[in-house]
Structure 1
Amino acid sequence: MAFGSSGPLAKAAMNAGLSPEHVASARVGIAAAVLLIGVCLIKPSILRVRRDQWRLLLAYGLAGVALVQLLFFIAVSRLPVGIAMLLEYTSPVLVAFWVRFVRKVRLPMLSWAGIALAFLGLALVAQVWKSLELDGVGMLAGIGAALCSAAYYLLGERGASEHHPIGMVTWGMVVGALALFAVAPPWTMPYAAVRTTSAFGGAQVPVLALLVTVALISTALAYTLSISSLRHLPSTVASVLALSEPIVATLLAWLMLGETLSPDQIVGMAVLLSGAALVQLASHGPVTPADPLPTD
Structure 2
Amino acid sequence: MSMMAHDAPRRSDVGAGLALAVASAVTFSLSGPLAAGLFATGWSPGAVVLVRVALGALVVAPFGVVALRGDWSPVRRNVRLLLAYGALAVAATQFCYFAAVQHMQVGPALLIEYSSPAAVVTWLWLRHGQRPGRATVGGITLAAVGLVLVLDLTGARLDPVGVAWALGAMVGVSAYFLINARAHTGLPPLSLAAGGMVVGAALLGLLAVAGLMPVTASAEPVALAGAVVPVWAVLAVLGVVTAGVAYVTGVGAGRRLGARPSSFVGLVEVVSAVVLAWLLLGELPSPVQLMGGAVLLAGVVVVQQGDAATRRATPRTTVEPVGAPD
TM range (shorter): 0.7 to 0.9
Counterpart selection for 1:283 from 304, 307, 310: 307
2-side partners of 1:27 and 1:84: how far apart? 21
- The answer to whether structure 1 residue 239 and structure 2 residue 266 are counterparts is no
Conserved 8 A contact 1:64-1:152: yes
Shift of the 256–169 alpha-carbon distance from structure 1 to 2, 3 Å rule, reads same
Conserved 8 A contact 1:60-1:155: yes
Task: Give matches, 1:11-22, under 5 Å.
Answer: 11-22=36-47
AA at the equivalent of 1:120: V
CA-to-aligned-CA distance 1:42-85 (integer Å, 9 cap, x gap):
76536543534111110011000111122334567888877765
Shift of 1:143: 3.7
TM-score for the superposition, normalised by structure 1: 0.85
Shift of 1:152: 1.0
Aligned to 1:16, the other structure's residue is in SS state coil
Conserved 8 A contact 1:113-1:275: yes
Shift of the 50–42 alpha-carbon distance from structure 1 to 2, 3 Å rule, reads closer
Conserved 8 A contact 2:68-2:191: no
2-side partners of 1:230 and 1:181: how far apart? 28
Unaligned runs of 5+ in 2: 1-25, 320-326
Greater displacement, 166-175 / 64-73: 64-73
Counterpart selection for 1:196 from 220, 228, 248: 220
Tell me the residue number matched to 1:149: 173
Tell me the residue number matched to 1:64: 89
Tell me the residue number matched to 2:60: 35
Tell me the residue number matched to 1:170: 194
Aligned to 1:130, the other structure's residue is in SS state coil
Aligned to 2:30, the other structure's residue is in SS state helix
2-side partners of 1:284 and 1:111: how far apart? 11
2-side partners of 1:84 and 1:252: how far apart? 20
Counterpart selection for 1:265 from 255, 270, 289: 289
Shift of the 136–268 alpha-carbon distance from structure 1 to 2, 3 Å rule, reads farther
Give identity over the alignment, percent.
36
Tell me the residue number matched to 2:29: 4
Aligned to 2:182, the other structure's residue is in SS state helix
- The answer to whether structure 1 residue 216 and structure 2 residue 234 are counterparts is no
Unaligned runs of 5+ in 1: 290-296
- The answer to whether structure 1 residue 181 and structure 2 residue 217 are counterparts is no
Two-structure CA RMSD over aligned residues (Å)? 2.9
2-side partners of 1:83 and 1:250: how far apart? 15
Shift of 1:206: 2.0
Structure (1/2) with the larger helix percentage: 1
Shift of the 2–240 alpha-carbon distance from structure 1 to 2, 3 Å rule, reads same
Shift of the 81–38 alpha-carbon distance from structure 1 to 2, 3 Å rule, reads farther
Aligned to 1:204, the other structure's residue is in SS state strand
Tell me the residue number matched to 1:254: 278
Task: Give matches, 1:73-222, under 5 Å.
Answer: 73-74=98-99, 85-132=110-157, 141-158=165-182, 161-185=185-209, 190=216, 193=218, 195-222=219-246
AA at the equivalent of 1:64: A
* Number of equivalent positions: 286
Shift of the 20–203 alpha-carbon distance from structure 1 to 2, 3 Å rule, reads same
CA-to-aligned-CA distance 1:126-168 (integer Å, 9 cap, x gap):
2234222x88876654443222101111122126653100010
Counterpart selection for 2:50 from 1, 11, 25: 25
Shift of 1:121: 0.5
